[in-house]
Amino acid sequence: QKEVEQNSGPLSVPEGAIASLNCTYSDRGSQSFFWYRQYSGKSPELIMSIYSNGDKEDGRFTAQLNKASQYVSLLIRDSQPSDSATYLCKNSGGSNYKLTFGKGTLLTVNP
């Protein structure tokens, strides 16, 4: 089993809708979770980090962490065409210290 699994996508949503991106992980000892956004032809940029169970909101972005179920999600409210990108999740810490990225989910927001 891969350490980090993301919903495969691609995901297409209309402008103004909520985009939901999900990620599951296998290492129960994982301490930190991150969401990165990567525009085509660009390098990944960190957009959200979450360390404890529950929700963390930053503008239109909400990260949700459920350690018991071993999943982390990213919600993008009022999606904009500029949100169209590949979103990567990552965990770190845990028993096997490794900076593991998921394969990414391509999100397209249609005007």
Q: Which of 85, 90, 107, 109 binds other proteins (CB under 8 A)?
A: 90
- Distance between CA 43 and CA 39 in Å, rounded? 7
Residues 14-53 that bind other proteins (CB under 8 A): 32, 34, 42-46, 49
Q: Which stretch binds other proteins (CB under 8 A): 12-20, 54-62, 74-82, 87-95?
A: 87-95
Q: How far is CA 5 from CA 15, 17, 78, in A?
A: 26, 24, 25
Q: What is the DSSP letter of 16?
A: T
* Least Å from the CB of residue 99 to other proteins: 6
Q: Which of 19, 65, 76, 88 binds other proteins (CB under 8 A)?
A: 88
Pairing state between β 11-14 and 61-66: unpaired
Q: What are φ and ψ of residue 48, in 5° steps?
A: -150, 145
Residues that bind other proteins (CB under 8 A): 32, 34, 42-46, 49, 88, 90, 92-93, 97-99, 101-104
